[in-house]
Amino acid sequence: MMNPSKIIEAGVEYSLGKFDGHTVYYEFPKILIYLDAKGKILFGRNFKIFDNDRELLFRLCNYIIRDEKMCQKMNLDLNKGLLISGPVGCGKTSLMKLLKYVVPHQKAYEVIPCRNIVFSFNHIGFKAIEDFGESGYFCFDDLGVEPLGRFFGQDCNVLGEILLSRHDLLLSKKIRTHVTTNLSATELEERYGQRVRSRMKHLFNLVTFSKNTFDKRV
């Protein structure tokens, strides 16, 4: 039987906690050790877990391992996806690319830059909205800075339409959606309108980096 509490990376075994044959009892310090190691593999040796991010990471890790009791205490709804908001360079994208590796037994989401989705729309039209809106497990990265879509002279707020479809997908098939963004809730409403903003409240748990978080890419 596979032991989901142990993960092997580059020949090194990392323990995330204890497994009794039915349930994994995760230990946050061990998860951090693994995330630091996996981060260096994915993003280079300069990657590190910053102490200032530990509280936010604790929230995200409890969500990703689906700890119902802890998430209830932290007001995280496991039926919703994540909307991670924060300043440029704070690490939103890296964390979302990284966290899914903690739970290899779960269905993995794909991190897709929103601008790439718009480029796809500009090339193949409304099929792109179907492809990203009506199925699949995705984290839409950098929501709100993508250009307006345009296909055969017709303008389209592509991600706005996709989010409306993803709301329907959540209701019908319980498929969650994740998003990263630099924008505030007010700015998102200005960008996508009140209707989409209303749906986003049902789609996402809001997890926010401090405005004072420094740019880790500098």
Q: Residue ranges per domain, the chain? A: 78-208
Q: Quick one: pLDDT at residue 173?
A: 97
Burial class (CB in 10 A: 0-12, 13-18, 19+), 123: exposed
CB 183 within 8 Å of CB 146: no
What is the architecture of the domain spanning 78-208?
Answer: 3-Layer(aba) Sandwich (3.40)
pLDDT at 218: 61
Low pLDDT (below 50) residues in the chain = 1
Query: What's the confidence (pLDDT) of residue 12?
Result: 95
CA distances (Å), origin 133, targets 64, 127, 128, 205: 22, 10, 8, 19
